[in-house]
Amino acid sequence: MSVQLFAMTCGWVTMPMKMLIYGTEGKLKIPVPVYFIRHPQGTVLFDSGLSMRVQSDGAKALGPLEPYFDIHFEENEEVSARLADVDMDPAKIDFLVSSHLHFDHCGGNDLIPNARWIIQKREWEAATIPESIAANSYDPADFDLGHDRVEADGEHDVFGDGTVRCIPTHGHTPGHQSMAIETDSGPVVLCGDACYLRQTIEEMRLPSRSGIYDEAAMIASLEKLRSLQKAGARLMYGHDPEFWSDVPQAPVALA
């Protein structure tokens, strides 16, 4: 059996376009993607989407971020419900990988209670310092849940065979990571927020200040993603609604 990859939309968020691409106007409704990976030696979830607090209370649950976001997150769009589409019990997921600790990427961590949690060491460290929690808009209620934690310091090969790898793409946050997967149909890279939209990488258009922790690191990460793309990888952009409209959803495999 080879590695299978599934995409799941776990809600939508409407936000100011300029937060995604600096210098633009208006709003954009963006998908909240979660990915499930089935490897012969275990199962992996890449990100967990929005919290159930957000499903019940909407943007109010986001505290200081409330003014910027409209939430569209219905019952059964949460990751634990979506995993039923691939016959996966959320309590039996082996590894939960967080790209980073923003509310739309780790809000569902409590729905994946027994997984080993893989996060970049730098991201975790930033999430333990009060000033840094505030500066990066983290909410420890999303992720400080006592998971058995693996702190990756750079690249991390989940199964030791090169097929499912966390790759550091710092810049959006202190320790953002993406995921590179070798599938039968070729390499796929789950960008996370290292690359919000197709336009981000094709035109090198960065987000507004709120979406950047370290601009030079973010540009270097985009260059790294671009070189992976040139080498044949299919890039899965973090929040691109137009791109996402053609992505097959679980239970149909993406690759």
Query: Would you say 3 or 106 has its CB closer to Zn ion?
Result: 106
- Binding to Zn ion, residues 90-129 (CB under 5 A): 102
Q: Which CB, 109 or 183, lies closer to Zn ion?
A: 109
Number of residues that bind Zn ion (CB under 5 A): 2
SS (H, E, C) the chain: CCCEEEEEEEEEEEEEHHHHCCCCCCEEEEEEEEEEEEECCEEEEECCCCCHHHHHHHHHHHHHHHHHCEEECCCCCCHHHHHHHHCCCHHHCCEEECCCCCHHHHCCHHHCCCCEEEEEHHHHHHCCCHHHHHHCCCCHHHHCCCCCEEEECCCEECCCCCCEEEEECCCCCCCCEEEEEEECCEEEEEEECCCCCHHHHHCCCCCCHHHCCCHHHHHHHHHHHHHHHHCCCEEEECCCHHHHCCCCCCCCCCC
Would you give the binding string for Zn ion spanning residues 166-195, x where CB under 5 A is met?
---------------------------x--
In the complex, minimum distance from the CB of residue 102 to Zn ion, in angstroms, rounded to a whole number: 3
User: Which residue lies nearer to Zn ion by CB, 142 or 193?
Assistant: 193
Q: Smallest distance, Å, CB 185 to Zn ion?
A: 28
Among positions 189-228, residues that touch Zn ion (CB under 5 A) are 193
Contact string (CB under 5 A) for Zn ion, positions 33-72, x = contact:
----------------------------------------
CB of 253 to Zn ion, least distance (A): 26
Minimum distance, C-beta of residue 136 to Zn ion, in the bound complex (Å): 9
Minimum CB–partner distance for residue 106 and Zn ion (Å): 10
Nearer to Zn ion, 3 or 213 (CB): 213
Query: Interface with Zn ion by CB under 5 A: which residues?
Result: 102, 193
